[in-house]
Structure 1
Amino acid sequence: MIAILEIIKLLLGLLLYIIIAQAILSWLIAFNVINTSNDFVRQVLYALDRITEPLYRPIRKILPDFGALDLSPMVVILLIYILRAIIIPNIELNLMS
C-alpha cells in the first residue's frame, strides 16, 4: 500500500510540472513571445490543454468569473500541495502504525 501512495505522490508531482508548463506556455502565447502558427507549439498546447482541462472544469464551475484572470490552475496546484504534504503522509502514518 505504501508503494501505491508513493506512485500517487510521483504522479501528483508530474501533474504539478504539467500545470506549471501549461501556465507558462499560455503566458508566452498571450504576450506574443511564441506564435501558435507553429505546428509544434500548437500540438504541445493542445496536449497540455487536454491533460489539464478535466481538472480545471469543475473548479471553474465553482469559482466566480474574474474576467480574463483564470485562478483554476492555482487552485489545482494548492490542492496538489495539500494532498502531497498533508493527506498522503497522514495515510502513510496510519498504515505504518
Structure 2
Amino acid sequence: MTSLFQILMLVLSVVKTVIFVHFIMSWLLSFQVLNLRQPIVAQIWDGLNRLLEPIYGPIRRFMPNMGGLDLSPIVALLGVYAIEIILRNNAALFI
C-alpha cells in the first residue's frame, strides 16, 4: 500500500508541474516571447490545453467572470496541494 501512496504523490507532482508549465507558457505567449506560429510551440500549447481543459473547465464554470483574468490554474493548484495535504496526513492508512 505504500507504493500506492507514492504513486498518488507522483501523479500529483506531475499535475503540478504541468500546471506550472502551462501557466508560465501562457505568460510567455502573452508577452510575445513565444510565438504560436512556431510549430513546436503550437503543438505543446495545444497539448497542454487539451490535457488541462478537463481540470480547468469545471473550475471556470464555477468561478465568476473576472474579465480577461483566468484564475483557474491557481484554484487547480490549490486543489492539488489540498489533496497532497490530505494524503500526507492520512499516510498511515497506506501502510
> TM-score, length-normalised on structure 1?
0.91
**Could you say which residue in structure 1 is the equivalent of 2:82?**
82
- Please list every run of at least 4 consecutive aligned residues from structure 1 whose deviation after the TM superposition is greater than 6 angstroms: none
**Could you say which residue in structure 2 is the equivalent of 1:71?**
71
Matched, 1:9 2:9: yes
Offset at residue 2 of structure 1 (A): 2.1
Unaligned runs of 5+ in 1: none
Unaligned runs of 5+ in 2: none
1:21 & 1:74 partners in 2: Cα distance? 13
1:8 & 1:56 partners in 2: Cα distance? 20
Percent same amino acid at aligned positions? 37
RMSD over aligned Cα, in angstroms? 1.1
> TM-score, length-normalised on structure 2?
0.93
Q: Measured at CA, do residues 4 and 95 of structure 1 come closer, stay the same or move farther in structure 2, by a change above 3 Å?
A: closer
Amino acid at match of 1:21: V
2:42 & 2:25 partners in 1: Cα distance? 10
Q: Deviations over 1:12-49 (max 9, x none)?
A: 10110100001111111111111110000000001111
1:82 & 1:74 partners in 2: Cα distance? 12
Offset at residue 10 of structure 1 (A): 0.5
